[in-house]
Structure 1
Amino acid sequence: MRNEPVRTLTAPVFTLPDANVDTDQIIPARFLTTTERGALGEACFHDWRFHMDGSKTGHRLNALAPGQPHILVAGHNFGCGSSREHAPWALKDFGFQAVVTTRAADIFRSNALKNALVVCEIDEASHAALMDRDGLEMTIDVAAGEIIAGNIKARFTLEPFARTCLIEGVDPLGYILAQDEAIRRFEAGRAA
Protein backbone atom coordinates (compact mmCIF):
# COMPACT_ATOMS: atom_id res chain seq x y z
CA MET A 1 0.00 0.00 0.00
CA ARG A 2 1.14 3.51 -0.75
CA ASN A 3 1.20 6.09 2.06
CA GLU A 4 2.29 9.68 2.05
CA PRO A 5 6.04 9.82 2.69
CA VAL A 6 6.76 10.84 6.28
CA ARG A 7 10.06 12.65 6.66
CA THR A 8 9.08 15.37 9.11
CA LEU A 9 5.85 16.11 10.93
CA THR A 10 4.90 19.40 12.51
CA ALA A 11 1.72 19.81 14.54
CA PRO A 12 0.50 21.00 17.93
CA VAL A 13 0.90 18.75 20.95
CA PHE A 14 -2.10 17.20 22.67
CA THR A 15 -1.25 15.56 26.01
CA LEU A 16 -2.93 12.48 27.40
CA PRO A 17 -1.00 11.59 30.57
CA ASP A 18 -2.93 8.41 31.42
CA ALA A 19 -0.69 5.34 31.67
CA ASN A 20 -1.62 1.91 30.29
CA VAL A 21 -4.16 3.17 27.75
CA ASP A 22 -5.19 -0.02 25.98
CA THR A 23 -6.43 -0.53 22.45
CA ASP A 24 -10.01 -1.08 23.64
CA GLN A 25 -9.98 2.45 25.07
CA ILE A 26 -8.55 3.79 21.80
CA ILE A 27 -11.17 1.98 19.69
CA PRO A 28 -13.86 -0.04 21.50
CA ALA A 29 -14.45 -3.54 20.11
CA ARG A 30 -17.97 -2.76 18.88
CA PHE A 31 -16.43 -0.51 16.19
CA LEU A 32 -14.24 -3.26 14.73
CA THR A 33 -16.77 -4.23 12.08
CA THR A 34 -14.98 -2.48 9.22
CA THR A 35 -11.78 -3.16 7.35
CA GLU A 36 -11.94 0.25 5.67
CA ARG A 37 -9.58 2.96 6.76
CA GLY A 38 -10.74 6.54 6.98
CA ALA A 39 -13.99 6.05 8.87
CA LEU A 40 -12.92 5.47 12.46
CA GLY A 41 -12.18 9.02 13.66
CA GLU A 42 -15.54 9.39 15.38
CA ALA A 43 -14.97 6.09 17.24
CA CYS A 44 -11.50 7.08 18.50
CA PHE A 45 -11.61 7.18 22.32
CA HIS A 46 -15.39 6.95 21.89
CA ASP A 47 -16.21 5.88 25.44
CA TRP A 48 -14.12 8.71 26.87
CA ARG A 49 -15.72 11.28 24.56
CA PHE A 50 -19.40 10.23 24.61
CA HIS A 51 -22.01 9.17 27.14
CA MET A 52 -24.15 6.11 26.39
CA ASP A 53 -26.93 8.40 25.07
CA GLY A 54 -24.52 9.87 22.49
CA SER A 55 -24.06 13.22 24.20
CA LYS A 56 -20.51 14.48 24.65
CA THR A 57 -18.66 14.07 27.92
CA GLY A 58 -16.44 16.80 29.32
CA HIS A 59 -13.26 15.02 28.23
CA ARG A 60 -10.51 17.28 26.82
CA LEU A 61 -10.44 15.22 23.61
CA ASN A 62 -13.76 16.82 22.66
CA ALA A 63 -11.99 20.18 22.31
CA LEU A 64 -10.18 18.79 19.24
CA ALA A 65 -11.83 18.86 15.87
CA PRO A 66 -11.61 15.33 14.44
CA GLY A 67 -9.21 15.29 11.53
CA GLN A 68 -7.26 18.33 12.74
CA PRO A 69 -3.54 17.36 12.85
CA HIS A 70 -2.05 16.88 16.30
CA ILE A 71 0.78 14.94 17.88
CA LEU A 72 -0.34 12.86 20.85
CA VAL A 73 1.97 12.92 23.86
CA ALA A 74 0.70 9.87 25.72
CA GLY A 75 1.39 8.22 29.06
CA HIS A 76 3.60 5.19 29.65
CA ASN A 77 2.72 1.83 28.03
CA PHE A 78 0.40 3.35 25.43
CA GLY A 79 -1.49 0.90 23.20
CA CYS A 80 -1.30 -2.12 25.48
CA GLY A 81 -3.95 -4.82 25.32
CA SER A 82 -5.17 -6.62 22.23
CA SER A 83 -3.42 -6.42 18.89
CA ARG A 84 -6.12 -4.62 16.93
CA GLU A 85 -4.81 -2.75 13.91
CA HIS A 86 -7.89 -0.54 14.08
CA ALA A 87 -6.27 1.41 16.95
CA PRO A 88 -3.70 3.21 14.77
CA TRP A 89 -6.33 3.62 12.05
CA ALA A 90 -8.65 5.37 14.54
CA LEU A 91 -5.87 7.61 15.87
CA LYS A 92 -4.89 8.66 12.34
CA ASP A 93 -8.51 9.20 11.30
CA PHE A 94 -9.01 11.38 14.38
CA GLY A 95 -6.03 13.52 13.31
CA PHE A 96 -3.10 12.23 15.33
CA GLN A 97 0.00 12.08 13.16
CA ALA A 98 2.29 10.60 15.79
CA VAL A 99 2.39 9.26 19.33
CA VAL A 100 5.18 10.34 21.69
CA THR A 101 5.54 8.30 24.87
CA THR A 102 8.09 6.75 27.19
CA ARG A 103 6.98 3.30 26.07
CA ALA A 104 4.48 1.96 23.56
CA ALA A 105 3.23 -1.61 23.58
CA ASP A 106 5.18 -3.70 21.07
CA ILE A 107 2.27 -4.88 18.91
CA PHE A 108 0.68 -1.42 18.89
CA ARG A 109 3.99 0.16 17.83
CA SER A 110 4.39 -2.38 15.02
CA ASN A 111 0.82 -1.87 13.78
CA ALA A 112 1.18 1.91 13.99
CA LEU A 113 4.41 2.05 12.01
CA LYS A 114 2.96 -0.26 9.32
CA ASN A 115 0.14 2.26 8.96
CA ALA A 116 2.34 5.39 8.86
CA LEU A 117 1.55 6.48 12.41
CA VAL A 118 4.91 7.49 13.84
CA VAL A 119 5.62 6.23 17.38
CA CYS A 120 8.46 7.96 19.24
CA GLU A 121 9.69 6.57 22.54
CA ILE A 122 11.62 9.26 24.39
CA ASP A 123 13.35 9.65 27.74
CA GLU A 124 11.26 10.27 30.85
CA ALA A 125 12.62 13.77 31.59
CA SER A 126 11.78 15.09 28.11
CA HIS A 127 8.41 13.36 28.24
CA ALA A 128 7.59 14.92 31.63
CA ALA A 129 8.56 18.36 30.27
CA LEU A 130 6.06 17.92 27.41
CA MET A 131 3.14 16.92 29.63
CA ASP A 132 2.11 20.48 30.46
CA ARG A 133 2.64 21.84 26.95
CA ASP A 134 -0.72 21.36 25.21
CA GLY A 135 -0.77 23.30 21.96
CA LEU A 136 3.01 23.70 21.72
CA GLU A 137 4.17 23.07 18.16
CA MET A 138 6.30 19.94 17.82
CA THR A 139 8.42 18.83 14.88
CA ILE A 140 9.37 15.19 14.47
CA ASP A 141 12.28 14.45 12.14
CA VAL A 142 11.87 10.77 11.23
CA ALA A 143 15.21 10.45 9.43
CA ALA A 144 17.21 12.12 12.22
CA GLY A 145 15.26 10.44 15.04
CA GLU A 146 14.64 13.70 16.86
CA ILE A 147 11.72 15.68 18.21
CA ILE A 148 11.83 19.41 18.85
CA ALA A 149 9.15 21.28 20.78
CA GLY A 150 10.12 24.74 21.96
CA ASN A 151 13.29 24.30 24.02
CA ILE A 152 12.73 20.53 24.39
CA LYS A 153 14.77 18.22 22.19
CA ALA A 154 14.68 14.45 22.49
CA ARG A 155 16.02 11.52 20.53
CA PHE A 156 14.12 8.40 19.54
CA THR A 157 14.95 5.34 17.50
CA LEU A 158 12.90 3.49 14.95
CA GLU A 159 13.55 0.05 13.58
CA PRO A 160 15.47 0.78 10.34
CA PHE A 161 13.01 -0.98 8.00
CA ALA A 162 10.06 0.86 9.55
CA ARG A 163 11.92 4.18 9.15
CA THR A 164 12.64 3.37 5.49
CA CYS A 165 8.98 2.53 4.85
CA LEU A 166 7.83 5.78 6.51
CA ILE A 167 10.29 7.91 4.53
CA GLU A 168 9.47 6.17 1.23
CA GLY A 169 5.72 6.25 1.86
CA VAL A 170 5.06 2.51 1.63
CA ASP A 171 3.93 -0.24 3.95
CA PRO A 172 6.04 -3.43 4.19
CA LEU A 173 4.15 -5.16 1.37
CA GLY A 174 4.42 -2.07 -0.82
CA TYR A 175 8.17 -2.01 -0.21
CA ILE A 176 8.51 -5.64 -1.29
CA LEU A 177 6.33 -5.14 -4.37
CA ALA A 178 8.53 -2.18 -5.39
CA GLN A 179 11.48 -4.60 -5.49
CA ASP A 180 9.84 -6.63 -8.28
CA GLU A 181 12.62 -6.09 -10.83
CA ALA A 182 15.36 -7.00 -8.36
CA ILE A 183 13.42 -10.12 -7.37
CA ARG A 184 13.06 -11.14 -11.04
CA ARG A 185 16.80 -10.68 -11.62
CA PHE A 186 17.59 -12.75 -8.54
CA GLU A 187 15.21 -15.52 -9.58
CA ALA A 188 16.58 -15.54 -13.15
CA GLY A 189 20.11 -15.92 -11.80
CA ARG A 190 19.05 -18.84 -9.58
CA ALA A 191 17.22 -20.68 -12.38
CA ALA A 192 20.42 -21.47 -14.29
Structure 2
Amino acid sequence: MGRHSSTPADELSVDWRSDRVGSARRGENPMVMAKVPSGYVVFGDTQQLPGYCVLLSDVDDTDHLTDLTGAQRTQFLEDMALLGDAVFAVCGGRDPAFRRLNYEILGNSLHHLHAHVHARYAWEPAEFRKGPVWRYAYEDRFAEQHDPLSSPEAEELDELRTAITAELHRLLKQR
Protein backbone atom coordinates (compact mmCIF):
# COMPACT_ATOMS: atom_id res chain seq x y z
CA MET A 1 0.00 0.00 0.00
CA GLY A 2 3.02 2.27 0.12
CA ARG A 3 4.40 4.36 -2.67
CA HIS A 4 4.79 1.41 -5.01
CA SER A 5 1.11 0.52 -4.68
CA SER A 6 -0.95 0.41 -7.87
CA THR A 7 -3.69 2.47 -6.19
CA PRO A 8 -3.50 6.09 -7.42
CA ALA A 9 -2.65 8.55 -4.65
CA ASP A 10 -5.79 10.63 -5.30
CA GLU A 11 -7.98 7.58 -4.59
CA LEU A 12 -6.32 7.20 -1.20
CA SER A 13 -7.17 10.79 -0.28
CA VAL A 14 -10.84 9.83 0.29
CA ASP A 15 -11.48 9.96 4.02
CA TRP A 16 -11.98 6.27 4.73
CA ARG A 17 -11.03 7.02 8.35
CA SER A 18 -14.47 8.53 9.01
CA ASP A 19 -16.12 5.13 8.44
CA ARG A 20 -13.47 2.48 8.98
CA VAL A 21 -15.79 -0.54 9.06
CA GLY A 22 -18.04 0.66 6.24
CA SER A 23 -15.03 1.44 4.06
CA ALA A 24 -13.63 -2.02 4.85
CA ARG A 25 -16.91 -3.64 3.85
CA ARG A 26 -16.93 -1.65 0.59
CA GLY A 27 -13.31 -2.49 -0.16
CA GLU A 28 -12.30 1.16 0.19
CA ASN A 29 -10.18 0.99 3.34
CA PRO A 30 -6.55 0.82 2.15
CA MET A 31 -5.39 -0.57 5.48
CA VAL A 32 -7.42 -3.82 5.37
CA MET A 33 -5.19 -6.88 5.52
CA ALA A 34 -7.76 -9.64 5.89
CA LYS A 35 -11.38 -10.49 6.61
CA VAL A 36 -11.63 -12.78 9.61
CA PRO A 37 -14.81 -14.33 11.04
CA SER A 38 -15.41 -11.49 13.54
CA GLY A 39 -14.35 -8.55 11.40
CA TYR A 40 -11.46 -6.94 9.57
CA VAL A 41 -7.77 -6.90 10.37
CA VAL A 42 -6.19 -3.58 9.45
CA PHE A 43 -2.63 -2.30 9.46
CA GLY A 44 -2.29 0.56 11.95
CA ASP A 45 -2.47 4.16 10.73
CA THR A 46 0.88 4.68 12.40
CA GLN A 47 3.80 2.31 12.38
CA GLN A 48 5.87 4.04 15.03
CA LEU A 49 6.04 0.57 16.57
CA PRO A 50 6.27 -1.60 13.44
CA GLY A 51 3.62 -4.29 13.24
CA TYR A 52 0.81 -2.35 14.94
CA CYS A 53 -2.52 -3.79 13.78
CA VAL A 54 -6.19 -3.42 14.71
CA LEU A 55 -9.11 -5.85 14.60
CA LEU A 56 -12.39 -4.08 13.72
CA SER A 57 -15.61 -5.85 14.68
CA ASP A 58 -17.98 -6.48 11.77
CA VAL A 59 -21.06 -6.45 14.00
CA ASP A 60 -23.17 -3.32 13.53
CA ASP A 61 -23.83 -1.04 16.49
CA THR A 62 -21.23 -2.74 18.67
CA ASP A 63 -19.43 -0.37 20.98
CA HIS A 64 -18.37 -2.70 23.79
CA LEU A 65 -17.24 -6.30 24.02
CA THR A 66 -20.33 -6.87 26.16
CA ASP A 67 -22.56 -5.89 23.21
CA LEU A 68 -21.69 -9.20 21.53
CA THR A 69 -23.34 -12.54 22.14
CA GLY A 70 -21.22 -15.13 23.91
CA ALA A 71 -20.33 -16.84 20.62
CA GLN A 72 -19.50 -13.51 18.91
CA ARG A 73 -17.37 -12.45 21.87
CA THR A 74 -15.46 -15.72 21.80
CA GLN A 75 -14.87 -15.36 18.06
CA PHE A 76 -13.68 -11.76 18.40
CA LEU A 77 -11.21 -12.66 21.15
CA GLU A 78 -10.00 -15.72 19.19
CA ASP A 79 -9.44 -13.52 16.14
CA MET A 80 -7.57 -10.97 18.26
CA ALA A 81 -5.33 -13.74 19.59
CA LEU A 82 -4.78 -15.10 16.06
CA LEU A 83 -3.78 -11.62 14.87
CA GLY A 84 -1.38 -11.45 17.82
CA ASP A 85 0.12 -14.80 16.83
CA ALA A 86 0.76 -13.49 13.31
CA VAL A 87 2.31 -10.21 14.52
CA PHE A 88 4.41 -12.08 17.09
CA ALA A 89 5.76 -14.53 14.52
CA VAL A 90 6.63 -11.89 11.93
CA CYS A 91 7.94 -9.11 14.16
CA GLY A 92 9.80 -11.57 16.37
CA GLY A 93 11.47 -13.05 13.33
CA ARG A 94 12.44 -9.69 11.80
CA ASP A 95 13.71 -7.61 14.69
CA PRO A 96 15.87 -9.13 17.44
CA ALA A 97 14.77 -6.24 19.69
CA PHE A 98 11.14 -7.42 19.57
CA ARG A 99 10.06 -7.99 23.20
CA ARG A 100 6.34 -8.66 23.42
CA LEU A 101 2.81 -7.78 22.35
CA ASN A 102 0.28 -5.53 24.05
CA TYR A 103 -3.42 -6.20 23.47
CA GLU A 104 -5.96 -3.46 24.16
CA ILE A 105 -9.68 -2.96 23.75
CA LEU A 106 -10.35 0.69 24.55
CA GLY A 107 -13.08 2.42 22.56
CA ASN A 108 -12.44 5.91 23.90
CA SER A 109 -11.98 7.49 20.45
CA LEU A 110 -13.63 5.17 17.96
CA HIS A 111 -17.02 4.09 19.32
CA HIS A 112 -17.07 0.79 17.50
CA LEU A 113 -15.60 -2.36 19.01
CA HIS A 114 -11.99 -2.83 17.99
CA ALA A 115 -8.84 -4.35 19.47
CA HIS A 116 -5.31 -3.00 19.21
CA VAL A 117 -2.30 -5.32 18.88
CA HIS A 118 0.95 -3.45 19.52
CA ALA A 119 4.41 -4.91 18.98
CA ARG A 120 6.84 -3.67 21.61
CA TYR A 121 10.62 -3.38 21.27
CA ALA A 122 13.76 -3.09 23.40
CA TRP A 123 14.83 -0.07 21.31
CA GLU A 124 11.94 2.00 22.67
CA PRO A 125 13.02 4.77 25.07
CA ALA A 126 13.18 3.42 28.62
CA GLU A 127 10.47 5.79 29.88
CA PHE A 128 7.95 4.27 27.41
CA ARG A 129 8.84 0.58 27.57
CA LYS A 130 6.81 -0.22 30.66
CA GLY A 131 3.61 1.67 29.92
CA PRO A 132 0.96 1.68 27.22
CA VAL A 133 1.84 3.12 23.81
CA TRP A 134 -0.59 5.95 24.47
CA ARG A 135 2.08 7.54 26.68
CA TYR A 136 3.98 8.51 23.53
CA ALA A 137 3.09 12.03 22.38
CA TYR A 138 0.43 12.01 19.67
CA GLU A 139 2.68 14.15 17.44
CA ASP A 140 5.42 11.53 17.70
CA ARG A 141 3.15 8.52 17.15
CA PHE A 142 1.49 10.04 14.08
CA ALA A 143 4.51 11.79 12.59
CA GLU A 144 4.77 11.58 8.79
CA GLN A 145 7.73 9.22 9.10
CA HIS A 146 5.43 6.56 10.61
CA ASP A 147 2.62 6.80 8.03
CA PRO A 148 2.44 3.44 6.25
CA LEU A 149 0.99 5.01 3.11
CA SER A 150 3.27 7.99 2.58
CA SER A 151 6.40 7.77 4.71
CA PRO A 152 9.86 7.27 3.22
CA GLU A 153 9.69 3.74 4.71
CA ALA A 154 6.35 2.95 3.01
CA GLU A 155 7.80 0.17 0.86
CA GLU A 156 9.51 -1.44 3.83
CA LEU A 157 6.26 -1.18 5.80
CA ASP A 158 4.44 -2.80 2.87
CA GLU A 159 6.79 -5.76 3.19
CA LEU A 160 5.99 -6.01 6.90
CA ARG A 161 2.27 -5.74 6.22
CA THR A 162 2.49 -8.39 3.50
CA ALA A 163 4.39 -10.74 5.81
CA ILE A 164 1.88 -10.33 8.66
CA THR A 165 -1.00 -10.82 6.22
CA ALA A 166 0.57 -14.00 4.83
CA GLU A 167 1.14 -15.36 8.33
CA LEU A 168 -2.42 -14.49 9.31
CA HIS A 169 -3.78 -16.37 6.29
CA ARG A 170 -1.52 -19.34 7.08
CA LEU A 171 -2.86 -19.45 10.64
CA LEU A 172 -6.45 -19.08 9.47
CA LYS A 173 -6.03 -22.17 7.28
CA GLN A 174 -4.84 -24.15 10.32
CA ARG A 175 -8.01 -23.42 12.31
Q: Which has the larger radius of gyration?
A: 1
TM-score normalised by L of structure 1: 0.22
Structure with the higher fraction of residues in helix conformation: 2
TM-score normalised by L of structure 2: 0.24
